[in-house]
Amino acid sequence: MTDLQLWLSAMEMGCFFGMLALAYYLVQVGAGFFNFAIGPYAMMGGLCTSWLVIEYDLGVWPAAGIAVAVTLLLAAGTELGVVRPVQRRSGGGELPALVAVAAVLFTIQQIAGYLFGHPTLPGQNLATFDPLPIGDIVVQPGSLLLIGVTVLTFGVTAVWIRATRTGRLLRAVGDSKQAAALLGLPVNRIRLVAFLAAGFLAAVAGLLFAPKAGVHSLSGLHWSLSGFLAVVIGGTGSVWAPLFGGMLLGLVEVFLPYYFGGQSHVYGMLLIALLFFAFRPQGLFVRTVRA
C-alpha cells in the first residue's frame, strides 16, 4: 500500500466519522444534548441493507431504502417514545435523557443481534462502476461515493442550517427550548426534525461505509464512540467542524496501526480524548456570540 493509498483510506475513515459527528451535531444544535444512539442508527443502515440483499436477494437500492426507512423509525421512536417522555417527567433534565439514549443504544444492538444474527455481514456497494486510477492510487467506487456524498452532505447541511426557516428554528430551539416555547415556536416538531435528520445521515453513513470493513450487530457502540469523539474534537462552532474532527480521527485510525502496529490506534484515540476533555472540552471550533 502506497502512502497516497494510506491517505485515501484515512480520508474515507474521516468522512465516515465526520458524517456520524454531523448527526450528533444536528441533535446537539436542535435538542441540546448528545444522542448516543447515532452509532446503532448507522449500524442498522448497513446491517439491514446487507441482510435484505443476502437473505431475500433484494436489489441493493430497494434494500438501502428500506434500511433508511427503518432507521428513521428508530430515530423518531427515540425522540417520541424515549427522550421526550423522560425529559417531561424529569423537568427537562439532560442527564436522564442521556441515560435513556444510552439504553436505546444497547437495545438496538440487542434487537439487531436477534434479528440479523451476530456474524459480520459484507457491506453492499451502491456504486458499481470500474475503479478509478489516479496516479499511484486506485479509487474504488465505494470510496468515491463515500467521499462525494460526505462533501455534498456537509455543503447542503450548511446551507440548510443558515438559509432556511427550518434551519434557523433548529438553532433557536437548541439555544433555549424554554425561550423558543415562549415565542410560540414549534419546539416539538423541530426537535423531531433534528432526530430524523440525524437518523438519515447516520443510516447513509453506515451503508456507505459498510463495504469497507463489513458490519455486525455490535458495530454500533464503536461507531457511537468514534462519532462522539469526532464532534468533541471539532466542536459545534461550525457545521464543518465535525468533518475536521472526523478527519483527525481518520488519520489516527489509519496511520498509527500502519507505523506502530497492533491496537495503537485505540491508545491514540484515547490519548486524544483525554487531551481534549482536559484542555479543550469545547472543541477546536467554538460558537461565537456577537454582542
Residue 226 within a domain: no
- Rounded to whole angstroms, the Cα distance separating 67 from 95 reads 30
Question: How far apart are the C-alpha atoms of 212 and 229, rounded to whole Å?
Answer: 21
Percent of the chain with pLDDT over 70: 96
Helices (H), 176-240: 177-182, 187-213, 219-234
- Residue 200 inside a domain? The answer is yes
- Specify if 25 maps to a domain: yes
Identify the helix (H) or strand (E) that includes residue 165.
helix 165-175
pLDDT of 230-268, one tens digit each?
998 888 888 999 999 999 999 999 988 888 877 787 778
Signed CA dihedral, 38, 39, 44, 50: sign only: positive
Domains: count for the chain: 1
DSSP character string of 242-277: HHHHHHHHHHHHHHHHHHH-TTHHHHHHHHHHHHHH
42 within 8 A of 210, measured Cβ to Cβ: no
Q: Please tell me the least confidently modeled range out of 23-27, 72-76, 98-102.
A: 98-102
- Predicted local distance difference test score (pLDDT) of residue 50: 96
Q: Is residue 135 in a domain?
A: yes
CA atoms within 13 A on the CB side of 271: 10
**DSSP bridge partners of 130:** none
Residue 19 lies in a domain: yes
* Residue 107 falls inside a structural domain: yes
285 — pLDDT class (breaks 50, 70, 90) = low
Q: What is the share, in percent, of the chain residues with pLDDT greater than 90?
A: 57
| Cell numbers 438496538: residue | 108
Q: What is the pLDDT of residue 291?
A: 36
* Main-chain phi, psi angles of 215, to 5 degrees: -150, 145
Q: Structure pTM?
A: 0.92
Residue span of the structural domain in which 186 resides? 3-220
Residue 174 within a domain:
yes
Is residue 282 in some structural domain?
no
